[in-house]
Amino acid sequence: QSVLTQPPSVSGAPGQRVTISCTGSSSNIGAGHDVHWYQQLPGTAPKLLIYVNSNRPSGVPDRFSGSKSGTSASLAITGLQAEDEADYYCQSYDSRLSAAVFGGGTQLTVL
Amino acid sequence: EVQLLESGGGLVQPGGSLRLPCAASGFTFSSYAMSWVRQAPGKGLEWVSAISGSGGSTYYADFVKGRFTISRDNSKNTLYLQMNSLRTEDTAVYYCAKDPTRGYSGSYLDYWGQGTLVTVSS
């Protein structure tokens, strides 16, 4: 049971828009801690996708965007491409645990 | 170019020990906190431990406290994870990852190594 809750899977057709939610609580996202997102392609290490809620590292396409509100955050992917098929993880900090915490991950399938 | 290269993984019996090094290059190693994150087979990511850039402050997830020790040798640009009293549930790929600041704050991890597999089994 992960501290941050994500849907196990989402899917979309090429060109479509999908969103992945990340729900936390008053000790993590709701406490004002930032949310970050990682993309893990099959068989590879995670890669930073979005940091501090809505910022993209250099090289990440602007098709990826992040937002945060209250105790939740979302990752949106527009113009879906086959290469976007991967697992996506949200991450924040939990004050009660004094630890970084991850969501359980969401598997994105491009139909 | 930032590079992180873990090694030291392998098969170990329950109750055994293993030490994982992570060799860093491409950045001023001592200026950044570092973390270990693990991923059990087919499962999600789990933060394990972190250490400040100077090595003076260390942080652990509850499930490894008293069993794992994180350390670093800034003269060798190397991060370590000493794992003792290993359990079957510690079986995972262990990643080292770079923090964006000198002090650990549970923030994002901007670079990750390729990981090393630790299997705890009799």
Q: Do B7 and B118 touch, CB atoms closer than 8 A?
A: no
Q: Average pLDDT, stretch B56-75? A: 96
Nearest Cβ partner for A89 among B45, B61, B110: B45
Asked if B110 and A2 come within 8 Å (Cβ–Cβ), the reply is no
Answer yes or no: is pLDDT of B1 > 90: yes
Alpha helices in B43-110 (DSSP H): none
Residue B31, phi then psi, degrees to nearest 5: -90, 0
Token duo for residue A61: 């396409």
Q: H-helix or E-strand containing A26?
A: none
DSSP A50-98: EBTTTBPPTT--TTEEEEEETTEEEEEE-S--GGG-EEEEEEEEETTTT
In chain B, the percentage of residues whose pLDDT exceeds 90 is: 97
Give CA–CA dist A14/B88, Å, rounded.
41
Asked if A104 and B44 come within 8 Å (Cβ–Cβ), the reply is yes
Strands B10-12 and B116-120 come out as parallel
Give CA–CA dist B85/A85, Å, rounded.
38
For residue A28, what is the nearest residue in chain B, using CA coordinates?
B106
User: Which one, of B93, B8, B2, B18, lies nearest residue A48 by Cα?
Assistant: B2
Give CA–CA dist B65/A95, Å, rounded.
17
Q: Average pLDDT, stretch B92-107? A: 94
pLDDT of res. B105: 87
Measured between beta carbons, the chain A residues lying within 8 angstroms of B95 are 45-46
Nearest Cβ partner for B61 among A48, A99, A103: A99
Asked if A102 and B61 come within 8 Å (Cβ–Cβ), the reply is no
Nearest Cβ partner for B108 among A44, A51, A97: A51
DSSP state letter for B39 = E
Q: Average pLDDT, stretch A91-105? A: 96
Q: Average pLDDT, stretch B52-79? A: 97
pLDDT band at A1 (very low <50, low <70, confident <90, very high): confident
Token duo for residue B65: 């406290």
Q: Average pLDDT, stretch A5-19? A: 97
pLDDT of res. B19: 98
Answer yes or no: is pLDDT of A6 > 90: yes
Strand residue runs (E) in chain B = 3-6, 10-12, 18-25, 34-39, 45-51, 58-60, 68-73, 78-83, 92-98, 111-112, 116-120
Tens-digit pLDDT profile for residues A59-93? 999 999 999 999 999 999 999 999 999 999 999 99
For residue A94, what is the nearest residue in chain B, using CA coordinates?
B106
pLDDT of res. B113: 98
